[in-house]
Structures are given as C-alpha cells and as structure tokens.
C-alpha cells in the first residue's frame, strides 16, 4: 500500500484537570523530520514522543502541536492533601495531650492550614501518568493521520498506475514504429539518389548498404525500449508494496526519463519524436505524484 506524505490527525484527552489537544500535520519532505511544540513543563517527554512518530512514519515533515487548557470544573475543585491534613490533626492531638489543652482543631481551622487545600493541576499526576496520557493521545492522533495518508496514497497509486498504462501503450507504439524507421529511410534515400541521377556518377549498391547499416545502428532503440519495459514492471511492483516506496519510485522515474531522452536523441522519425514528447509529459505527471508519496 502506498502512503501519501500529506495528512492531518487530532485527539483530545482530559487528565490532571486539563483538556489536552494534540494535532499532527505532515507535508512532503525528503527525510523524516519531526518538530514538536508542547508546554515547557512537558519538554521532558519530547524524545519519547519523537521516537513513537518516527517508528510509525517513514518520510515527511511532521509538525505536532500539544496544547493544554485548564478545565472550568477543575478551577473550582479543591484538591485535599490528605498527608498534610493528617499531620496537622496528629500534631494538634499531641499538643493537647502534652500541655493539657482542652481546645480541639476544628474543620474550619484545618482547611485554612497551609498546603491542606489546593486547586488541582497536572502536578498531582506522577510523571509516568502524564507520559502515559500523552503517548495515548499521540497514538490516537497518529491513527487519524495515517488513515488520511493511506486514503490519499491510494488515489496517488491509482493515478500513477493509470499513467503507467498510458506509458505502456505509447511504448508498444514505439516498438511497432522502430522497425519502420530504417525501411522508410531506405526508400527516401533511394528516391533522392534516383532524383539526382544524371549519369555523372555510378550508383554503388555496396556503399548504399553501408550507409543504411550505419543509420540503422545510430537509430536503434531496442535496448532503451527493453529497459523501459523493465522499469514499468518495477514501478507496478513497488506500488503493491507495504513500505515507503517514494524514493525508489523517484529513482525509477529518473531512469525512465533518461531512456526516453536517449530515444528522442536517436529518433530520426517524426512519429517517434511525437510519441517521445507524449511519454515525457506523462512521466512528468507521474513524477509530481511520486513527490507526494512516502
């Protein structure tokens, strides 16, 4: 399956009194470049998140945005520090017994003690819990991104396959036209010599044959046509693979362009030149599609 390098993914999670949103977008890039923008207090998780992304994606410029917003109910919900409250109650009981006080520590007084009550924030979560939530949110966003890249990749592969079919049809026309080049040249050259024949020179069949042989050698495109056919088959095989194939396809397109250019330079035939122009136009369209493939 072919994947595009363009996509978008999103997830939202609630933890530690925050609503955390993760957005991922990816565009074309020669390599896999990952940039993460997240709150400063969470920068310690950046390497872990990057490794997850690079494990799932092969190529592309991947931008990840992680934002957190305090939830309204969290702003109004106090967090009880049970350890501190218990310490205060024990201390009050010990003082009463030691010094004979009759007063008791009331609930109102306990609630006003330092660090007994505080507004909930992400600091109440252990680092392992924060990392677990961030990783889960990232995986969810990556799933959406990969689904979009897969959908677009399917259309890219379908369009590329269709254009390969067009190239194969043009290739078949070249195969049929190639043998006619020499025969047409022979007829034109013989006719030209006949028109110039004014008894001042003798027609030499041997030299005529040598000239035809040299022409046939110069314009022979059998090797180029054979290599092109091989490249078409390799392209189709790559389009069926379940791995990043963009670079390999890009290399094959360059090789096909080289073969087509050689055919164009050798062709001494108008119909062949026209087919070469058509083939180069299709290859350019395929190259643009391949540039979007992972």
Residue with tokens 């180029």: 224
161 and 230 inside one domain: yes
99 and 206 inside one domain: no
Tell me whether residue 133 is in a domain: no
Residue range 66-91, pLDDT digits in tens: 999 877 655 556 778 888 888 888 88
What tokens appear for 83 in the block? Answer: 């350890």
159 and 209 inside one domain: yes
Tell me whether residue 145 is in a domain: no
Final residue belonging to a domain, choices 103, 119, 135: 119
What's the domain range around 114? 78-119
Tell me whether residue 260 is in a domain: yes
- Dihedral angle sign, alpha carbons of residues 54, 56, 57, 58: positive
The mean-pLDDT minimum among 71-75, 231-235, 243-247, 269-273 falls in 71-75
169 and 99 inside one domain: no
Tell me whether residue 234 is in a domain: yes
273 and 221 inside one domain: yes
Tell me the pLDDT band of 14, cut-offs 50, 70 and 90: confident
Is the confidence at residue 124, as pLDDT, over 60? no
Residue 112: what pLDDT? 84
DSSP tag of 100: T
Better-scored residue on pLDDT, 161 or 201: 161
Tell me whether residue 105 is in a domain: yes
Tell me whether residue 171 is in a domain: yes
160 and 104 inside one domain: no
208 and 274 inside one domain: yes
Tell me whether residue 236 is in a domain: yes
Final residue belonging to a domain, choices 119, 137, 172: 119
174 and 106 inside one domain: no
Residue 266: what pLDDT? 82
206 and 162 inside one domain: yes
Is the confidence at residue 227, as pLDDT, over 90? yes
Is the confidence at residue 4, as pLDDT, over 80? yes
| pTM of the entire predicted model | 0.70
Better-scored residue on pLDDT, 261 or 17: 261
- Give the length of the chain: 294
Residue 122: what pLDDT? 46
Final residue belonging to a domain, choices 119, 144, 174: 119
DSSP H or E segment with residue 292: none
Is the confidence at residue 228, as pLDDT, over 70? yes
Contacts of 221 (CB under 8 A, 6+ apart): 174, 178, 262, 263, 266, 267
In the chain, how many domains are there?
A: 2
Tell me whether residue 210 is in a domain: yes
156 and 113 inside one domain: no
Do 133 and 12 touch, CB atoms closer than 8 A?
A: no
Residue 141: what pLDDT? 96
Query: What three-state secondary structure class fits 114?
Result: coil
279 and 158 inside one domain: yes
Q: Tell me how crowded residue 284 is: count the other CB atoms within 10 A of its CB.
A: 12
């Amino acid at each position: 399956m072919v994947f595009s390098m363009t996509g978008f993914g999103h997830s939202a999670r609630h933890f530690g009194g925050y609503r955390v949103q993760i957005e991922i977008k990816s565009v074309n890039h020669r390599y896999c470049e990952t940039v993460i923008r997240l709150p400063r207090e969470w920068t310690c998780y950046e390497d872990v998140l990057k490794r997850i992304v690079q494990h799932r994606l092969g190529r592309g410029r991947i931008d990840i945005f992680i934002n957190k917003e305090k939830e309204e109910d969290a702003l109004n919900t106090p967090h009880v520090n049970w350890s501190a409250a218990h310490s205060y109650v024990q201390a009050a009981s010990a003082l009463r017994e030691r010094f004979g006080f009759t007063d008791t520590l009331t609930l109102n007084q306990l609630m006003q003690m330092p660090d007994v009550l505080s507004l909930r924030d992400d600091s109440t979560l252990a680092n392992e819990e924060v990392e677990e939530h961030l990783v889960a949110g990232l995986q969810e966003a990556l799933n959406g991104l990969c689904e979009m890249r897969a959908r677009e990749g399917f259309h890219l592969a379908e369009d590329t396959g269709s254009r390969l079919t067009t190239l194969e049809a043009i290739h078949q026309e070249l195969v049929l036209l190639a043998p006619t080049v020499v025969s047409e040249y022979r007829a034109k050259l013989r006719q030209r010599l006949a028109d110039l024949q004014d008894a001042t020179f003798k027609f030499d069949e041997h030299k005529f044959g040598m000239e035809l042989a040299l022409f046939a050698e110069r314009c022979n495109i059998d090797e180029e046509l054979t290599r092109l056919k091989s490249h078409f088959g390799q392209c189709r095989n790559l389009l069926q693979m379940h791995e990043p194939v963009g670079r390999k396809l890009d290399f094959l397109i360059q090789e096909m362009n080289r073969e087509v250019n050689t055919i164009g330079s050798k062709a001494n035939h108008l119909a062949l030149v026209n087919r070469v122009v058509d083939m180069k136009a299709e290859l350019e369209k395929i190259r643009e599609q391949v540039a979007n493939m992972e």
